[in-house]
Amino acid sequence: MAQVYDSIAQQYKQFCSSPFAIYVETYTYLNLIGDVSGKSILDLACGEGIYSRLLKQNGAARLVGVDISSEMIKLARLEEDKQPLGIEYIIADVMDVGFIENFDIVVASFLLNYASTKDQLLKMCHTISTNLKPGGRFIGLNNNLDLLPEFYHKSEKYGLAKSCLGPLEEGSPLTLTLTIDSEGNKVSFDNYYLSKQTYEWALRSVGFEDIRWHNPLVAPEGVKKFSQEFWEDGINYPYFVGISCQR
Ligand SMILES: C[S@@+](CC[C@H](N)C(=O)[O-])C[C@H]1O[C@@H](n2cnc3c(N)ncnc32)[C@H](O)[C@@H]1O
């Protein structure tokens, strides 16, 4: 996994400025996370730190980002050098990073879908739980596990393609292809399908309660800029979903 993201770090960063990333993904995620003033936050699979920076700028008191890819963390640290926000970045695998400290909130956008087995998912969930204060919240974004492959093409107009060879089974690889610029350049990488039941089992096994799944929202500025109709496929056939739960 580290090598994959090491080789596409810069391209992935480019996709983060696409309309879908800004008006749907970021808007949904920040809405779910809510007020972060004065909170300590651990951002797992932080990538090049886009959400770590946003959460710190939105008032988080402490922000630690963890990612397995040294190239992703290099980009995150470059941003930190350009505009210091006091974010600490750690290169590590979430499955074995262990206890860092007790945080108010743990966030992870597009981490859990890299688990290809129940055991890997459980290890990731264990790290989330271990680093949360009692009563702390976990908020994540994830591939939408309920979307049937016959509808995967519905997100292509937003620059997001997803495919699966064969039926969706526990551990099936999914190939994601992102269009990263207006010239149509693309970048592809794999993650894995595990059922919602498996996710809920893993979260409950490490002590989480009140597990909720959330559909994407579109920012009012995105509707104004592109029309409601433009976003309808993204809402009716969600490419991703939010997850929230409490320890
Ligand atoms: C799709 S990117 C998302 C990055 C960032 N969270 C965002 O939303 O922009 C997925 C990230 O997960 C990281 N990743 C995948 N498996 C990981 C693991 N086991 N431990 C730590 N990071 C992991 C990758 O290196 C990559 O940076």
CATH code for the domain in which residue 73 is found: 3.40.50.150
Contact call for residues 203 and 125 (beta carbons, < 8 A): yes
What three-state secondary structure class fits 223? helix
E strands, the chain, are 40-44, 62-67, 88-91, 103-109, 132-143, 160-163, 173-179, 186-192, 209-214, 240-246
Say if ligand 1 is within 6 A of residue 50 CB: yes
For residue 149, being part of any structural domain is answered with: no
Name the pTM for this structure: 0.95
| Atom in ligand 1 nearest the alpha carbon of residue 47 | 27
Whether 147 shows a pLDDT value over 80: the answer reads yes
CA of 224 to the centre of ligand 1 (A): 31
Is residue 163, in this structure, part of any structural domain at all? no
- CA 228 / ligand 1 centre spacing (Å): 31
Is 180 a member of any domain?
no
Q: Where are the alpha helices (DSSP H) in 100-152?
A: 118-130
In a domain? residue 167: no
* Total domain count, the chain: 1
Looking at residues 105-120, what average pLDDT do you find? 98
- Structural domain including 10 reads 2-143+195-231
Residue 24: which H helix or E strand, with range? none
- 20-78 residue pLDDT tens: 999 999 999 999 999 999 999 999 999 999 999 999 999 999 999 999 999 999 999 99
52 lines ligand 1 (CB under 6 A): no
* Diameter over CA atoms, the chain: 48
**Domain presence at residue 246:** no
